[in-house]
Amino acid sequence: MTKTAVLTIVSNNYMPYAATLLESVRDTNPDYRRYIFLADRVHEQASLWPNLADIVEAQALGIPDFNDMSLRYDIMEFNTAIKPFALKWLFENSDVDHVIYLDPDIYVYRKLELLDSILAEGCSLVLTPHITRPLEDNYLPDDHSMLKAGVFNLGFVAVSRTTDAIRYLDWWGRRLTTQCYSDTSNNLFTDQRWCDLAPCFVDELRILKDPTYNVAYWNLPHRFPTKEDASGNIHIEGTPLTFFHFSGLRLDKAEFVSKHQNRLQWDDIQPFKQLFTDYRNTLLSNKWSDLSKMKYTYDHIGNLYVSPVIRRLYRDIFTSVYQELKLDEDFVISLCNACSEEHRSESGYRVTRLMDRIYKERADLQATFDLATPAGTQAYVVWFEQSAMKEYKLDARVVFQANIASTEQQPAFMPVPPLPNADRSFMFRRWRKIRKAMLNRLEKL
């Protein structure tokens, strides 16, 4: 008998979403095994839903660079970065034949019969596209938005236990180790843009365009619903709705579609209104109000709060994993307090790497403080001590000059760049160096 597992990934504050999703899976697909992979540490609130799912902490996945990833990524990036590792973990630690990932803000309304049949045919990977028709009405998201977000929506992915699929998960995991940023300006949107390449890498891949799967705000204009049965269940193009993705829902607003779009207002989504209302009420009954403000474990290293700007500084310096790192509280403080390589002043004040990072990302600070002058440096230091702690939620140990000056400076925190052609022999590298020097001389003749 074929064995299938469904998993979702959440931090503790999103457990009500995970519970709501997996209750819907239990009720509609009772044969599926259910898993919650926690991008956090298990909290006692998990006991609110006994026997609903097996819970696995992310740190148990055996990710080689786990500490680097938990510092490098914010909460959303980290949740998405561990996805291929969670999928592969299930193949390595259970006897399941197929694994289905669903975002926690999805609700399943009926048995996934079509998906089951596709997987049973030997398909290695199943993905759903964001859109199957153009969005050209001058609202957002539009076609260009879909290019930036990725062809496929990774709120859903199904994987079979095949050599092709495992090879793909390994590659995807390597990419997400250091390149799972929400940074569309650099062609990255967490885990999604990498899956644009999936049809090139996986032979037995199915792009599932069924209009009842992964319905959401981005494709809702192209889904034509009707209520066709006595229970009022929604049908789309004559087929019962399979699962809906409530991405961008605002639980503090009773009549709201999604914060990520401006195309659809509440009155535009008939007959989906009741669907939204019922889903919102279910989330609230699953303790959302009590648990939504829970703290995220990896927002702290020891007693140090890792502000988003500290994460940005870290990944600016360590673009790849530096294997010798000891990522503890002292390391992060020393990293922040190390002298800036660009702004060394004779004013007697130290401009740190963290101060430099904040300075570079703000045009107003650059226009106000000239760090090429002692007076400008002193004025910036005064601003930093008076304002940065509050604006960036920084620890005093990385803000005040008295604390900064007492930090032991460790230049070794600057990573050593890898040798070019490091995998080649010494003689080959030497030959390349001599050849380059000769070509440079010839160009000058």
Of 370 and 228, which is predicted with more confidence?
370
What pLDDT score was predicted for residue 430?
A: 60
Segment 367-386, tens digit of pLDDT: 999 999 989 999 999 999 99
- Quick one: pLDDT at residue 436? 64
CA dihedral over 437, 438, 439, 442, signed as positive or negative = positive
C-alpha span between 140 and 231 (Å, rounded)? 34
What is the mean pLDDT of the segment spanning 231-248?
93
Distance between alpha carbon 53 and the CA centroid of its chain, in Å?
22
pLDDT confidence band for 47 (50 / 70 / 90): confident
* Amino acid found at 294: M
d(CA 155, CA 130): 10
The CA–CA distances, whole Å, from 352 to 327, 337, 338, 342, 395 equal 19, 5, 5, 10, 14
Q: Residue 371 corresponds to which amino acid?
A: L
Choose between 157 and 373: higher pLDDT.
Answer: 157
Supply the pLDDT for residue 412: 43
Report residue 73's pLDDT band, with 50, 70 and 90 as the boundaries: very high
Looking at the predicted structure, is the pLDDT value of residue 61 above 60? yes
What is the band of 121 on the pLDDT scale with cuts at 50, 70, 90? Answer: very high
Domains of the chain (ranges, CATH numbers)? 4-291 (3.90.550.10), 304-413 (no CATH)
